[in-house]
Amino acid sequence: MREKITYAKAGVDRATRAEAKMALETLKQTFKCSFYGDILQLPFGTIFPLGSDNYLDLCIEGVGTKVLLAQLANKFDTIGIDGIAMAVNDVIRSGAKPLAIADNIHAHKSDPWLVKEWMKGIARGALESQCIVSGGEIGDVAEIIKGVKEDKAFDLIVACIGEVAKKRIIFGNDIHPKDVVIGLRSSGLHSNGITLAKRILFKEWGGAFEAHDIPNGFDKELILEALEPTKIYVKSLLRVMAQYKIKGAVHITGDAYLKFSRLMEFSKKIGFLLDNFNPQPIFGLVKLAAERLGGIDDEEMFKTFNMGWGFAIIVDKKERDAILDILDKEQVGAEPIGEVTSSRRIVITHEEKSLVLM
């Protein structure tokens, strides 16, 4: 019997990554350099003071192997949106409003047409985030950057800085059982789990389909479905934050629903039961296509992919309906997807199965 496929077998080992990240503790010695005072540790990073009442949140993100899908499709005008989305959606987790963006592209060759296409997506993403692009850099490093189509190979990194007033910081330390988890709809794969998805889906990497196949139930080519840009949640969340307290915020990216464990470190004796999922068809296709490679466990799907929800907020039960009304007007596709429990576990209920992620 063939072994089931996992993220680790596709090339991303969570255990090794977790061990490697322990080296980041070394960087805490730099916190003493903070000019205005103490660094604040939040569930998904740190923020640093700017004066007495405001803090800055600086995040840097990339789009990872999604650039390989752009190369395969020979389509580069949306990948910049992904880069912006990954960074600004991270910044908003602290309650900060994104202010400015800088991008870094390392390319096999900075072809003028390619640069123009990259910039289309970066501009669209920045406008959607209400951010300026204050700077950036493109480096030609052919010896390092290679890919499906080598002359169009590149890597894209985006940094974003945001500002949050002290009274609006989302600390994640006041979450209690019966609080509600609200999910904000994703647009599909987003920019995470791509290493596993491409291994399963595309013949270029040993998967089931040609890039331009249109599988049953889909209305466009599979490569275009996989390239659908990551959603940007900034405007919708800022409108909620202006009126209501968000107790916790999760950008559902790498490690997917395992990310909720970070909130469990800041609010003790809690867990999560998540029971409302309606994944887009591409996730079902991943599951189906994986059968030819030995199959993939449901737990692995929820540890790797967003499964239909790109962002989640935790709010007081009494404020749930009012917050949903705001998000409904924003047309972001928001629904309650679960609740906080006292289980100290992350439990997923889907298709009459109960999955314990941790």
d(CA 45, CA 199): 31
Q: What is the pLDDT of residue 314?
A: 98
d(CA 346, CA 358): 6
Q: What is the pLDDT of residue 6?
A: 86
Residue-wise pLDDT tens digits, 308-318: 999 999 999 99
CA distance to 20, 133, 267, per residue, from 345 (Å): 24, 40, 13
Per domain, the residue ranges of the chain are 34-168, 180-356
- Within 52-149, residue ranges assigned H as helices are 66-73, 79-91, 112-129
Q: What is the pLDDT of residue 157?
A: 97
Residue-wise pLDDT tens digits, 293-309: 999 999 999 999 999 99
CA angle 144, 148, 151 (to 5 degrees): 60
Q: What is the pLDDT of residue 51?
A: 82
Residue-wise pLDDT tens digits, 108-166: 998 999 999 999 999 999 999 999 999 999 999 998 987 767 789 999 999 999 999 99
Domain 180-356 sits in CATH 3.90.650.10: yes
CA angle 332, 338, 342 (to 5 degrees): 145
Residue-wise pLDDT tens digits, 226-262: 999 999 999 999 999 999 999 999 999 989 999 999 9
Residue-wise pLDDT tens digits, 12-43: 877 787 788 778 778 777 777 766 778 899 99
- Write down the CATH number for the domain with range 34-168: 3.30.1330.10
Q: What is the pLDDT of residue 26?
A: 81
Which among 278, 309, 302, 279 has a CA at the least distance from the CA of 354?
302
Q: What is the pLDDT of residue 237?
A: 97
Q: What are the helix and strand counts (H, E) for the chain?
A: 12, 13
Whether residue 235 contacts residue 247, with contact meaning beta carbons closer than 8 Å, is answered with: no
Whether residue 248 contacts residue 172, with contact meaning beta carbons closer than 8 Å, is answered with: yes
Q: Which helix (H) or strand (E) holds 302?
A: helix 298-304
Beta bridge partners of 49: 55
Residue-wise pLDDT tens digits, 54-110: 999 999 999 999 999 999 999 999 999 999 999 999 999 999 999 999 999 999 998
- Strand ordering across the sheet containing 97-107: 40-42, 45-50, 54-62, 154-165, 97-107, 132-140
Which among 248, 334, 260, 332 has a CA at the least distance from the CA of 303?
260
